[in-house]
A and B are shown apart, each in its own frame.
Chain A
Amino acid sequence: MTMVVPPPKTVKVEALEKPPITLPPSLISWLQAAPLTIILGAFLALPILMITVVSFWDYDFAQMYPDFVTFNYAETLGSWVTWKTYLNTLKFTFLVWSITLFIGFWVAYFLAFHIRTSAMQTVLFLVCTVPFLTSNIIRMISWIPVLGRNGLVNSALIETGIIAAPIEWLLYSDFAVVLAMVHLYTLFMVTPIFNTMMRIDRSLIEAARDAGASGLQILTNVIIPLSKPGMAIGSIFVVTLVMADFSTVQVMSGGQSASVALMMKNQMSLLQYPAAAANAVVLLVLVLLMVAGILRIVDIRKEL
């Protein structure tokens, strides 16, 4: 049997013969770092800088005047409304954080340790993400027909005779805000915890069982300590998202509850940009402090 061997493809030699363009090594490094620097500079550093600058400007009902005044901060920090709003936002953050942490931990635990095949794990994890194919607003608004005065929950309870009159606090209440936020943000907790749990060496659990640990002892002595980095990352996601949320608070509380971001939005709609900017700087500092606090408690470097 004879086989025709195709001649090896010849590389065009002319292109190689030209002297290659040589750049100084330092310039190459700068060029490599440039894309990320430009993106972060244009979309992160510059806006924050502008907000900080504007927060020191003067304004009236129609216009902003470049200046250096501190009364935006004085007004923001000196008003009891601001303090109440911040406390309210922190309350939502704490509630949503603890509930999502609880649910997220157990969902991740179930996925990581009770589903045996990795194919099924992937399928179930994707099922968790399916609601995210619709927008935040739609998922939030879809609670209204469920929780409303004549919504699914109330009518079902009345028809079965459990209650006589519709429960009023289901919708347009703090309860509704927390419920919707938990719904929106639990997956941000599930994903990093699941990710961390999948990296726990299964032989550690066997070693714990070999040492006589019960199921609960394995959970508290091995799984929870080793899942902490995932919990910290999830907590950072949830805390920053809830602290900055205004739409959920506005829609689900029916305008009865306030959050810091909602306060800023109202200030902006009144064209009080410098006041909103000052508020934004205060919020940014507070959120950064909270993130720093989380990072102090848990070392997440192993996960990055």
Chain B
Amino acid sequence: MTKAAEIDIVSVSKIYGQTTAVHAISLKIPAGSYCCLLGPSGCGKTSTLRMIAGHESISEGDIRLGTKVVTDLPPARRGTAMMFQSYALFPHLDLIDNVAFSLKMKGVEKEERRRKALEMLQLMQLEPYATRRPAQLSGGQQQRVALARALITDPEALLLDEPLSALDPFLKIRMRAELKKLQTTLGITFVHVTHSQEEAMALADIVVVMNDGRIEQAAHPRTVFERPATAFVARFMGDHNVITGRVVEKVENGIIIEVPGGGRFQAIDGTGEIGDAADIAVRTDRVMLAETSAPTLGFTGIVQNVEYRGSSVKMVVSGAGIEDFTLIISDAAFFANPVKMGDAVPLSWNSGDAIVLGRITH
């Protein structure tokens, strides 16, 4: 079953009447990789997945799967299988008939298709429930049935529409691990739509962050987290403070920006003309409660909020023209020198921890 296909999306748009849901996106998903489409609701991630699956017509552009262009093919002839958000199991059929559904549609003999479906259920460890109806199963079991039903078509790519959203948090983490294991075993391409950055980071080989019908960044999760391409990505992935200002000085390997009515901050890995608007990001876990070594790598602010989280403490500080600057420090560091709301504290970070964010020109 190792016949994964590369998915190539070439300037694909989706237009509903007057509104454009997806703006000419291009994306290459390597064969056999686990790709997560990540973004807030309404960002076009589900439309993109449904266009790959063939459940949504493609307004403009083309989609290639392996060697064939599938733009105008019906879902079943694309070599993809889709797993729906609420699993969409047939409530009137037992598990065997649910899993064997696509074989029945192809006209496979009853004995043959029941045998294959049972094999698939065995693989998913659902054999004892073979004659039950979907309503008699738990959420996690239903998900495995949906997986079995999708995989029996022997697809080159599996498309998953928010597969974990219907599960409780504990089960979510368990099924997440199962999905990853399954993908590794089968070696086929998985495309997984989610709005949870935690889910995307845990699963994906490539995270595709989408916003407003456009791709903001498509890269390995580590790159997306450590080098977010835009302010949107930095905010959406969390654990970053985004500071917006204007470029006032160019330095070696970076720029210095000035926040309106506030301080100046230096960041690396970016360029910009003096006077341009620019965003920089500072990782929340890299900020220290200490006097700055250089005036552009920290500020003094007033503590707005302190939250104890066990192994760490989250603080929100305002100052130097920046509202709600978040930092997370270890509990040891915090309790060695505790502060409380209203205190003025010095903050600082190293020069490598502030990076310049790009801006997409639409």
Knowing A201-B86, A217-B105, A221-B104 touch, does A210 contact B92 (C-beta < 8 A)? no
In angstroms, Cα B84 to Cα A134, docked, is 47
Instruction: Say yes or no: is A286 at the interface (Cβ < 8 Å to chain B).
Output: no
In angstroms, Cα B90 to Cα A213, docked, is 13
| Range for the number of chain A residues in contact with chain B | 10 to 19
Residue-wise, chain A 223-242 has the 8 Å CB interface mask toward B (1 for contact) of 00110000000000000000
Knowing A212-B105, A212-B153, A221-B104 touch, does A206 contact B84 (C-beta < 8 A)? yes
Instruction: Say yes or no: is B270 at the interface (Cβ < 8 Å to chain A).
Output: no
Residue-wise, chain B 90-126 has the 8 Å CB interface mask toward A (1 for contact) of 1110000000011011100000000000000000000
Partner among A207, A214, A217, A226 whose Cβ is within 8 Å of the Cβ of B88: A207
Query: Which single residue of chain A is at the shortest CB-CB distance from B78?
Result: A210
Knowing A201-B86, A203-B84 touch, does A210 contact B105 (C-beta < 8 A)? no
Instruction: Say yes or no: is B149 at the interface (Cβ < 8 Å to chain A).
Output: yes
Decide if A209 touches B74 in the complex (CB within 8 Å): yes
Decide if A212 touches B106 in the complex (CB within 8 Å): yes
In angstroms, Cα B219 to Cα A174, docked, is 75
| Chain B residues bordering chain A, tally (CB within 8 A) | 24
Residue-wise, chain B 118-157 has the 8 Å CB interface mask toward A (1 for contact) of 0000000000000000000000000000000110010000
Give the interface SS of chain B, mostly helix, strand, loop or mixed. mixed
Which residues of chain B (149-174) have a CB below 8 Å from chain A?
149-150, 153
Q: A206 — which chain B residues lie within 8 A by C-beta? A: 55, 82, 84, 88
Instruction: Say yes or no: is B81 at the interface (Cβ < 8 Å to chain A).
Output: yes
CB-based A-B contact count at 8 angstroms: 58
Decide if A211 touches B88 in the complex (CB within 8 Å): no
The residue among A209, A212, A214, A222 with the most chain B CB atoms within 10 A of its own CB is: A212
In angstroms, Cα B86 to Cα A62, docked, is 70
A37 → B minimal CB distance (Å): 34
Q: B177 — which chain A residues lie within 8 A by C-beta? A: none
Q: B101 — which chain A residues lie within 8 A by C-beta? A: 208, 211, 213, 221
Instruction: Say yes or no: is A128 at the interface (Cβ < 8 Å to chain B).
Output: no
Knowing A213-B105, A217-B105 touch, does A207 contact B84 (C-beta < 8 A)? yes
Decide if A225 touches B92 in the complex (CB within 8 Å): yes
Q: Interface of A with B (CB < 8 Å)?
A: 201, 203-204, 206-214, 217, 221-222, 225-226
The 3 closest A-B pairs by CB, nearest first: A212-B76, A211-B102, A207-B88
Q: Interface of B with A (CB < 8 Å)?
A: 53, 55, 74-77, 81-82, 84-86, 88-92, 101-102, 104-106, 149-150, 153
Given contacts A203-B88, A210-B75, 13 further A-B contacts (CB under 8 A): A201-B88, A206-B88, A207-B82, A208-B101, A210-B76, A210-B81, A211-B105, A211-B149, A212-B102, A212-B105, A213-B101, A217-B105, A222-B90
